[in-house]
Structure 1
C-alpha cells in the first residue's frame, strides 16, 4: 500500500481551524410519535476547514515560505481535487504514548491501533510511526504492521495481557471540492479563506 502524500505545513496558515466530528444516523418516524434510530457509522468521520492568511508567489515575503502558493496549488493539483486521498497531521491530535488498544485472549493476533479522546476510544486513521508496542508493559517487536492501522503479532498475546502502543498518526482525507479559490490581495501575496477536506476510511 503506497503511503498518501502529506498536506503541507506552511507558515502562512491562519489560526482559525475548524474540526467537525460527523456521524450518520438513520431516523424513521412513526405516526405515534415514536422513532427508530440506526447509526450508520461505527466511528465518526472528521471534517476540517483551514485558512491561509498569507501565501507567497514571488519569494519576496520573508515571513512566508518562498512560493508557498505554488506549493499549495501543486498539492491540490496532485490530489486532482476530490479524486485522491492525502494525510493531514492535526497538531492537536497526532500522537499517543502508552495507549491501550486491546486485551489479549490467547487467540487473537491482530489489533487495530487507536487513541482515546475524552474517554472515547476509536481507531486512528493512518499510522505514520510506531515507537513501541508493549504486551503487559513489556516492549516487543514480534509483530508486523499493516497500513493503515493494524498490527499482527507472530503469536497471540496471553489472555488478559494489555496491548499498548506509542507512536504518531494522521487523518487520511480527501478534499470536499474539485476547485480551490485563491485571492491575490497584494502583489505576490495571496490568501485562501476556506480549504475543506474530510477524513475517509
Structure 2
C-alpha cells in the first residue's frame, strides 16, 4: 500500500466533518417486513476537511499537502478529533485501557485494537497507526517499562519474550486514521479579497 507516514495538519483537521460509515442491504418483503444484511464486517470512516479551512494560509497548506500526496495516490495519517485515543475523550490513556490479547507462553506479537461496547454488543477496531511515543503496555495489570516495542506503522506490539499463559495483555495509546484523498481534483475558489475556499475535500479511510 502506497502510504506516507505524515499527518494531515491538525489545525485544519480539527474543523473537519465526518465519521464511521457502514454498508447494510435492506430488502422489504411483500408483507412489509424487512430483512437486513451487513455487507461490511467493519465500518469505514469518511471525512470532509473543507470545513477546517478558515484562512488563505490553511488553503495553501491543503493544496501543498494534496500535491505532495499526488491526489489519491498516497495515503496518510489523519487525526479524528472525535475519536483519537484508547479511552474516553475526557481521560488520559493508560496501559490498562484496551485488552489486546491473552498470553499463551508462545505468542510474542499482539495487534493494537479498540473495543466499542454498547449493552451486550461489542465491535473491535484494529488500530494500525498509533502515535509515536503514546503507547503504554501492561501485563496482568502491571505496566511494563521495557521488554516490548511497538511498530507505529502497523500497530503491532512485540515482546522480547512471550507473556505467560493466561495473563491479560492491555495497552493505552493515541492513534491516527489511515486515509487518502477521495478526489484527484481540488476546486479552489478565490474571492475579491484573495481569500480562498474549497467546496469539498473528501477523505476516505484506507482498509487493508
TM-score scaled by length of structure 1 = 0.77
Contact 1:101 / 1:113 at 8 angstroms: preserved in 2?
yes
* Aligned equivalent of 1:172: 178
Deviation, 1:26, is 8.5
1:124 counterpart = 2:124 = no
What SS does the corresponding residue of 2:62 show, helix, strand or coil? helix
The answer (yes or no) to whether the contact 2:24–2:36 under 8 Å persists in 1 is no
Q: List structure 1 segments (4+ residues) > 3 angstroms apart after TM superposition.
A: 13-16, 22-27, 39-42
SS in 1 for 2:63: helix
SS in 1 for 2:7: coil
Contact residue 14 and residue 53 of structure 1 kept, 8 A: no
- Count of matched residue positions in the alignment of Structure 1 and Structure 2: 188
TM superposition score normalised by structure 2: 0.75
Relative to its length, the structure with more strand (as a share) is 1
Give unmatched runs, 5+ long, in structure 1: 28-34, 57-66
Q: Secondary structure at the match of 1:92?
A: coil
Alignment equivalent of 1:78, drawn from 39, 52, 68 = 68
**Which residue, out of 135, 138, 142, partners 2:139?**
135
C-alpha displacement of 1:84: 0.4
Q: Tell me: CA distance 1:179–1:116, structure 2 relative to 1, closer, same or farther (3 Å).
A: same
Question: Which residue of 67, 82, 96 maps to 1:92?
Answer: 82
Q: 130, 146, 149: which one pairs with 1:144?
A: 149
The structure where helix makes up a greater share of residues is 2
Equivalent residue, structure 1, for 2:32: none
TM-superposed CA distance for 1:128, in Å, is: 1.4
* Alignment RMSD (CA, Å): 3.0
Q: State the match for 1:197 in structure 2.
A: 203
User: Does the 8 A contact of 2:4 with 2:74 survive in 1?
Assistant: no
Between 47-56 and 128-137, the greater mean CA deviation after superposition:
47-56
